[in-house]
C-alpha cells in the first residue's frame, strides 16, 4: 500500500471552513460531550418546534433504540427549499444536464419551490398522506428531486428503486413497503439508449396487490401502455395543481425515506432514515467534507437510486442552499470526455464520483481528459469502494492537475452520511486511505472475538457510539436490525467492513468481511444472486463469490451445479446470465460462471466459501485446511475448470 503523503496546502488551510487545529478541537468536543456538540449543530436547520432533547441512544443487546432531537419538529422540504427563498430565490438550485449534451436546464430555488409544491399537491390529490410509502422509479431528471421533496413536504416516506433493477426486484420493494403509489417515467435515457421504466412498472404491478396509482412523468415521449383507473400522466395532473402547498410538521424521528440495500443474508432490507438527525448530518458533512461555500457549483455523479444520491445530490446540498448538478447520462457518452466536458460547461468546482468510473476512464488514457480545461475544479471526491492508490494518483494528477485535494469518503447506506474522510483544509491525504473520522464518529477496530485493538492494527470496523445520520431500523423488522448490526459485537455498530489503522491513526478500509460484494460500487448480496440462479429450472445449486476485477473492483463469480442430466453448454451459460439480469437487474449479471459437478462442503453440508473465494481469486496455492470437507476431491475439479479472468 502506498505510504505517500499529500499535505494540506497553505491556501487550503486558510480558506477552508476547518483547518487542522479546528478539526482536532472540534473532534475532541464532539466525542467528549456529544449532546452539547450536536445540540449546537442541530441549529443549522430550521425547526418548526425547537428540540429540547438532543440524544437518546441505546445500543444494548435486544434493546437498540436511536433517537436524536426527538421532541423537535421540522420538515425537510422546508429546509431544502422554502428557507432559501428570502435569501437566494433566484440562485440556481439544480443544474440539470441531460443524456444528450445539447439538453440542460437551470432550476432556481424559486422554481424548485413551485415544482415541489405542485408535485406535493398531485400526491395529495391521489390520496397520499403523512406516513404513506411512495415508491419512486425514475431516471435522473429533475422530477426525481421534485418527487423526493414533495414526499417530504406532505410527510410521505419515499422508497427509491434504482432504474437498473428488474420488475421482480421492483415488485418485492413495492410489496415490502406496501406502496399504493409508484412514480415513474415513460422511459429513461442513458447513453442514447432507452430504458423501459413504465413497462417494468407494468410487469411489477402484476405481482403486487397494494399498488393503486402510477404517476408517469413524460421523458422520451415513447409509446407506452396506460392502464385506465391506475395510470396518470404527471404533466396532466400537474397542470391542474396549485403551486401553493403548506409543509406538514414532522417529528424529528418520523421516517423520511426507506432505501433497500443488500446484506449477507435474505432479501434486501429497507433501511429507515428519519427526518431531523439525518438532515443535520447530511448538511453538515456536505459543508465540511466538500468545503462547500455559497456560489460553488457542486457535482455528485451518483444516481438518486443510491444513498449517495439521496444525501449528496439532493438533501445535503439543498439544505445548504447549494447549486447541485444532476446528470442523466453516463461517463462515456457521447464520448469518453463527457465528465470533463460537463465540468467545463457548468464550471464545476467540486466533483464527486466512484473509483469504478475513475478506473474505466483511466483505461482510455490521459488524452480525453487533458484536452478539456477543468480549470474550475477545486476539490475531488471518491465514494463507494476502496480506491486503489494507482487510481487515486491518476485522479489527482490527470483530472485534478496536481491541484485538487481528494476526499476519499467512507460511509454506507446505513450511516446516512460520510463517517470517515479527509477534510480538505485539515487532513493530509494518503492515497487509498479514507483517513480520519468525521465529528462525532468513534471508529474502533476489533478482532474476531470483539476485543478492541489499540494503535496500528487490522481487524473489523465498528462504531462505538451513534451519530445523528444513523439508520434507525429495518423497515418492519427491528429484530433483523438488531441482529444484523448490533449482535456481532454487543454495544457497537458493526459495519461489515474490514480495516487497518496505521501509526498516524489513519483508517484504510479493506472491503467487506461478510457475504456482500461490491461490484462497480454497487452492493450485492451473494445470497441474492444465488437464489436467482437456483430459481432456474436447470440449476440445482449455486455459490457466488467476488473476485478482483480491474474496472469493477469486484466481479461476480458463480459456481453452478446443474440438475442431473443437464448439459453444461455455452448456450446455457449465456441463458443463466440473462436469467439473473431478468431476476435482479443488469447490475447483478455474473461475470464468470463455472459449472461445477460438486461444491466443497463440510460434513454438515455447509458450503465452504473460503475455498471458493480463493479459487476465484486464483490463489489456490493457499486453500488452507480442506480436511473437514465431505469430499476433498471436488476441489481439484474446481481448480482444473476455473474460469479465466478479464
Point out which residues bind ligand 6R9 (CB under 6 A).
261, 306-308, 382-386, 408-413, 434, 495-497, 509, 511-512, 518, 523
Q: Are 405 and 12 in contact (CB under 8 A)?
A: yes
Of 109 and 508, CB closest to ligand 6R9 = 508
Nearest distance from C-beta of residue 55 to ligand 6R9, angstroms: 24
Please, what is the minimum distance in Å from the beta carbon of residue 321 to ligand 6R9?
23
State the cell numbers at 467.
451519530
Give the residue at shortest CB distance from ligand 6R9: 413
Nearer to ligand 6R9, 434 or 608 (CB): 434
Least CB distance from residue 430 to ligand 6R9, whole Å? 13
Cα–Cα distance for residue pair 84/112, rounded to 1 Å: 11
Q: Which is nearer to ligand 6R9, 115 or 176 (CB)?
A: 176
Residue 581 among known ligand-binding residues = yes
- How near is the Cβ of 365 to ligand 6R9 at its closest, in Å? 25
- Is the CB of 255 or the CB of 432 nearer to ligand 6R9? 432
Task: Please state the separation of Cα 513 from the chain's center in Å.
Answer: 18
Distances (CA, A) of 579 to 295, 351, 554: 48, 36, 21
Helix runs in 456-510, H state only = 478-486
Annotated ligand binding at 181? The verdict is no
Give me the least distance between CB of 413 and ligand 6R9, in Å please.
3
8 Å CB contact between 537 and 600: no
Residue 587 DSSP label:
G
CB of 141 or CB of 354, closer to ligand 6R9? 354
For ligand 6R9, the closer CB: 59 or 494 = 494
The phi, psi pair for 350, rounded to 5°, reads: -125, 125
Distance set, CA 46 to CA 34, 72, 276, 561, 625 (Å): 20, 10, 10, 58, 59
Provide, rounded to whole angstroms, the least separation between the CB of residue 379 and ligand 6R9: 15
The residue among 352 and 559 lying less far from ligand 6R9, judged by its C-beta, is: 352
Residue 355: CB minimum distance to ligand 6R9, A:
8
> Taking the alpha carbons of 399, 404, 405, 411 in that order, is the dihedral positive or negative?
negative
The reply to whether 618 sits in an annotated binding site is no
219: annotated binding-site residue? no
Closest distance to ligand 6R9 from the beta carbon of 178 (Å): 23
Find out whether 83 is annotated in a ligand binding site: no
413 is in an annotated binding site: yes
DSSP state of 12: H
Is 244 annotated among the ligand-binding residues?
no
Task: Identify whether the C-beta of residue 448 lies closer than 8 Å to the C-beta of residue 457.
Answer: no
Q: Is 308 annotated as a binding residue?
A: yes
Looking at the Cβ atoms of 116 and 259, the one nearer to ligand 6R9 is 259
Nearer to ligand 6R9, 321 or 422 (CB): 422
Residue for grid cell 467534507: 289
- Nearest distance in Å: CB 484, ligand 6R9: 13
Q: How far apart are CA 100 and CA 279, in angstroms?
A: 33
The residue assigned the cell 461517463 is 331
646 is in an annotated binding site: no
Closest approach, Cβ 504 to ligand 6R9, in A, equals: 17
Q: H or E element: which one contains 24?
A: helix 20-32
397 vs 415: CA distance, rounded Å = 31
Query: Is the peptide bond prior to 334 cis by the omega test (within 30 degrees of 0)?
Result: yes
Residue 384 marked ligand-binding: yes
Asked if 417 and 277 count as a contact pair (C-beta separation under 8 A), the reply is no
Which CB, 317 or 384, lies closer to ligand 6R9?
384
Q: What Cα–Cα distance (Å) separates residue 639 from each residue in 213, 394, 594, 628?
A: 52, 35, 10, 18
**In the complex, what is the shortest distance from the CB of residue 7 to ligand 6R9, in angstroms, rounded to a whole number?**
21
Question: Angle at the Cα of 251 (from 245 to 257), degrees rounded to 5?
Answer: 75
Which is nearest to 307 in space by CA: 257, 379, 264?
257
Nearest to ligand 6R9 of 55, 552 (CB atom): 552
497 is in an annotated binding site: yes
Is there a binding annotation on residue 293?
no
Asked if residue 425 lies in contact with residue 18, where contact means CB atoms within 8 angstroms, the answer is: yes
Rg of the Cα trace of the chain?
A: 24
Say if residue 385 carries a ligand binding annotation. yes
C-alpha–C-alpha distance, residues 590 and 544, integer Å: 9
Strands annotated E in 36-165: 55-58, 65-68, 73-74, 92-97, 104-108, 133-137, 157-160
Cell digits of residue 539: 440449476
Helix segments in 584-632, DSSP class H = 609-616
Whether residue 536 is annotated as binding a ligand: the answer is yes
Element (H, E) at 109: helix 109-125
Least distance to ligand 6R9 from the beta carbon of 508, Å?
A: 9
In the complex, minimum distance from the CB of residue 518 to ligand 6R9, in angstroms, rounded to a whole number: 5
For residue 343, say whether it is annotated as part of any ligand binding site.
no
Quickly tell me which residue has 391521489 as its cell: 126
E strand or H helix at 603 = none
Decide whether 108 or 554 has the Cβ nearer to ligand 6R9.
554
Question: What are φ and ψ of residue 473, in 5° steps?
Answer: -170, 170
The residue (of 74 and 169) whose beta carbon lies closer to ligand 6R9 is: 169
User: Annotation-wise, does 193 bind a ligand?
Assistant: yes
CA atoms within a 13 Å half-sphere pointing along the CA-CB vector of 444: 18
Annotated binding-site residue numbers: 190-193, 308, 384-386, 408-413, 497, 512, 520, 523, 534, 536, 539, 581
> Which residues define the annotated binding site for ATP?
384-386, 408-413, 497, 512, 523
Binding residues for CoA: 190-193, 308, 520, 581
Binding site residue list for Mg(2+):
534, 536, 539
Amino acid at each position: 500500500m502506498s505510504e505517500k503523503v499529500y499535505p494540506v496546502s497553505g491556501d487550503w488551510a486558510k480558506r477552508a471552513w476547518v483547518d487542522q487545529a479546528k478539526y482536532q478541537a472540534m473532534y475532541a468536543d464532539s466525542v467528549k460531550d456529544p449532546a452539547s456538540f450536536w445540540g449546537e449543530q442541530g441549529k443549522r436547520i430550521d425547526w418548526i418546534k425547537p428540540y429540547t432533547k438532543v440524544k437518546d441512544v441505546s445500543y444494548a443487546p435486544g434493546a437498540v433504540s436511536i433517537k436524536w432531537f426527538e421532541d423537535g419538529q421540522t420538515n425537510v422540504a422546508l429546509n431544502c427549499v422554502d428557507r432559501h427563498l428570502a435569501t437566494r430565490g433566484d440562485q440556481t438550485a439544480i443544474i440539470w444536464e441531460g443524456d444528450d449534451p445539447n439538453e440542460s436546464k437551470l432550476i432556481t430555488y424559486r422554481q424548485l419551490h413551485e415544482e415541489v409544491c405542485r408535485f406535493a399537491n398531485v400526491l395529495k390529490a391521489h390520496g397520499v398522506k403523512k406516513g404513506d410509502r411512495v415508491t419512486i422509479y425514475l431516471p435522473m431528471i429533475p422530477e426525481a428531486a421534485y418527487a423526493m421533496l414533495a414526499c417530504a413536504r406532505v410527510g410521505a416516506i419515499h422508497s427509491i428503486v434504482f432504474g437498473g433493477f428488474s420488475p421482480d426486484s421492483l415488485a418485492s420493494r413495492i410489496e415490502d413497503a406496501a406502496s399504493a403509489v409508484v412514480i415513474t417515467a415513460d422511459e429513461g435515457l442513458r447513453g442514447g439508449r432507452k430504458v423501459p421504466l413504465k413497462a417494468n412498472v407494468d410487469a411489477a404491478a402484476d405481482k403486487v396487490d397494494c399498488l393503486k396509482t402510477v404517476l408517469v412523468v413524460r421523458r422520451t415521449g415513447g409509446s407506452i401502455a396506460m392502464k385506465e383507473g391506475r395510470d396518470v400522466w404527471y404533466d396532466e395532473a400537474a397542470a391542474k395543481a396549485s403551486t401553493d402547498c403548506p409543509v406538514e410538521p414532522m417529528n424529528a424521528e418520523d421516517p423520511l425515506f426507506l432505501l433497500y440495500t443488500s446484506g449477507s443474508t435474505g432479501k434486501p432490507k429497507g433501511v429507515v432514515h428519519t427526518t431531523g438527525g439525518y438532515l443535520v448530518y447530511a448538511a453538515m458533512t456536505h459543508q465540511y467534507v466538500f468545503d462547500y461555500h455559497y456560489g460553488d457549483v457542486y457535482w455528485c455523479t451518483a444516481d438518486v437510486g443510491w444513498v449517495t444520491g439521496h444525501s449528496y445530490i439532493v438533501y445535503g446540498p439543498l439544505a445548504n442552499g447549494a447549486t447541485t448538478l444532476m446528470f442523466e447520462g453516463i461517463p462515456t457518452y457521447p464520448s469518453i470526455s463527457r465528465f470533463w466536458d460537463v465540468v467545463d460547461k457548468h464550471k464545476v468546482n467540486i466533483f464527486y464520483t466512484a473509483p469504478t468510473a475513475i478506473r474505466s476512464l483511466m483505461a482510455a488514457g490521459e488524452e480525453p481528459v487533458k484536452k478539456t480545461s477543468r480549470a474550475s475544479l477545486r476539490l475531488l471526491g471518491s465514494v463507494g469502494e476502496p480506491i486503489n492508490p494507482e487510481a487515486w494518483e491518476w485522479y489527482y494528477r490527470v483530472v485534478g492537475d496536481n491541484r485538487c485535494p481528494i476526499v476519499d469518503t467512507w460511509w454506507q447506506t446505513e450511516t446516512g452520511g460520510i463517517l470517515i474522510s479527509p477534510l480538505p483544509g485539515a487532513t493530509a491525504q494518503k492515497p487509498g486511505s479514507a483517513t480520519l473520522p468525521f465529528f462525532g464518529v468513534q471508529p474502533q477496530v476489533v478482532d474476531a472475538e470483539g476485543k478492541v485493538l489499540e494503535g496500528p492494527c487490522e481487524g473489523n470496523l465498528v462504531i462505538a457510539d451513534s451519530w445523528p445520520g444513523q439508520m434507525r431500523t429495518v423497515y418492519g423488522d427491528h429484530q433483523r436490525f438488531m441482529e444484523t448490526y448490533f449482535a456481532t459485537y454487543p454495544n457497537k455498530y458493526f459495519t461489515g467492513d474490514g480495516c487497518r489503522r496505521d501509526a498516524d491513526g489513519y483508517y484504510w478500509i479493506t472491503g467487506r468481511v461478510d457475504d456482500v460484494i461490491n461490484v462497480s460500487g454497487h452492493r450485492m448480496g451473494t445470497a441474492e444472486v444465488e437464489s436467482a440462479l437456483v430459481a432456474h429450472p436447470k440449476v440445482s445449486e449455486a455459490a457466488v463469490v467476488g473476485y478482483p476485477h480491474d474496472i469493477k473492483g469486484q466481479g461476480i463469480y458463480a459456481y453452478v451445479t446443474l440438475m442431473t442430466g443437464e448439459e453444461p453448454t455455452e448456450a446455457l451459460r449465456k441463458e443463466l446470465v440473462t436469467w439473473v439480469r431478468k431476476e435482479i437487474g443488469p447490475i447483478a449479471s455474473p461475470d464468470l460462471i463455472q459449472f461445477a459437478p460438486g461444491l466443497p462442503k463440510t460434513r454438515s453440508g455447509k458450503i465452504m466459501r473460503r475455498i471458493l473465494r480463493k479459487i476465484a481469486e486464483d490463489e489456490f496455492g493457499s486453500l488452507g485446511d480442506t480436511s473437514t470437507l465431505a469430499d476433498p476431491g471436488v476441489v481439484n475439479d474446481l481448480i482444473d475448470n476455473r474460469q479465466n479472468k478479464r
